[in-house]
Amino acid sequence: MEHDHARPARRRLLTGAAALAAAAALTPLTTAAASPAPRRRTARGESGYPPVQWVPASTANYTTADRPGQYPVEMVVVHVTQETYPDTLRLFQSPAHKAAAHYVVRSADGHIAQCVSERNVAWHAGNWDFNTRSIGIEHEGWIDDPTWFTDPLYERSARLTAAVCARYGIPLDREHIIGHVEVPGSDHTDPGEYWDWARYLQLVTEASWRYTG
Looking at 83, 138, 140, 155, which residue is catalytic? 138
DSSP per residue over the chain, as a string? ---S-PPTTTSPPP-STTTTHHHHHTS--PPPPP--SPPPPP-TTGGGPPP-EE-PPPGGGEE---TTTSS---EEEEEE-SB-HHHHHHHHT-TTT----SEEE-TTT--EEE-S-TTSEE--SS-HHHHHTEEEEEESBBTTBGGGS-HHHHHHHHHHHHHHHHHHT--SSTTTEEEGGGSTT----TT-TTS-HHHHHHHHHHHHHHHH-
Known catalytic residue at 138: yes
Indicate which residues carry an active-site annotation.
138
